[in-house]
Amino acid sequence: MEKKQNENEETLSSLLGGIINGGIQVIDLTMTLDQRTPTIVLPPEHGQSWPFRLEVISKYDERGPATYWNNMSCGEHTGTHFDAPIHWISGKDLPNNATDTLPPDLFIAHASVIDVSLETKEDPDYLLTIERIEEWEKINGNIPVRSWVLMRTDWSKKTNPTEYLNHGDEGANTPGPHPDLIPWLIEERDVVGFGSETVGTDAGQAAHFSHPFPCHHLMHGAGRCGLPALINLDLLPAQGAVVVAAPLKIRQGSGSPVRALALVGK
């Protein structure tokens, strides 16, 4: 007797069919990890994140004639990476707040891409506001529930690490979300989290805000996540892409480098 495919099986098979026949494009949102990958620099009294480092174990040589492989080391928050709620003190007591305990379905979500690349070209300290998103929603419809809000700045096109980190006398000058935007995204739009093209999800000047590091403090305090140092956001539609980004399953990990992918219907 022929087994009738149920609706969900058909959905999956049509998704895979789309990927195989090219109707659904897979876009890589991930920076390449190497010794030049920019690492966040904290005030000297704080602990520091290791830069990415690779050391050859063997390369078809006397150390292993048939094998090539490396040891690697880096901080959890290196390159394109995932911020889990446990990363911030505000999220430390939440249930399922770490890389090994977050529900895995969170790793697949909508993408709402807010293009503020023109604004950030003029002003590296540009802050994304509620008003700017409401303007975007008039054209693209509301940010759907369970979406990543991805701030497109084209910042990732800066290939020089010094320009990318853009440190000034008062800390980094890089764009990010306005403090008022974060509670609105959580309460009014129920987002999965916030993603950016810069080294962290908060603006470079966020240490000086009246509520410091709002994207970390408030997002993680509400069990939401972060996805910084993305690339290729300029290849995504404003609305309709699906992001797949899963952190390594580190026990009680605060985050990890990810291979972030977007599925885009042509």
| Interacting residues with Mn ion (CB under 5 A) | 77, 83
Q: What is the dihedral of CA 73, 75, 77, 83, to 10 degrees?
A: 110
Handedness of CA 232, 235, 236, 242 (dihedral sign): negative
Q: Reply yes or no on whether 87 is catalytic.
A: yes
Q: Among all residues, whose Cβ is closest to Mn ion?
A: 77
Q: What are phi and psi of 100, to 5 degrees?
A: -90, -10
- Smallest gap from Cβ 194 to Mn ion, in A, equals 11
Residue closer to Mn ion, measured from CB, 166 or 198:
198
Cβ-based neighbour number of residue 17 at 10 Å:
11
Closest approach of Mn ion to the CB of residue 185, in Å:
18
Cβ proximity to Mn ion, 77 vs 152, nearer residue? 77
- DSSP letter string over 32-48? PPSTTS------TTS--
Choose the catalytic residue: 81, 87, 216, 220: 87
- Smallest distance, Å, CB 87 to Mn ion? 6
Give me 153's structure tokens: 């700045």
Largest CA distance in the chain: 74
- Identity of the residue, 83 or 197, whose beta carbon is nearer to Mn ion in the bound complex: 83
Residues involved in catalysis: 87
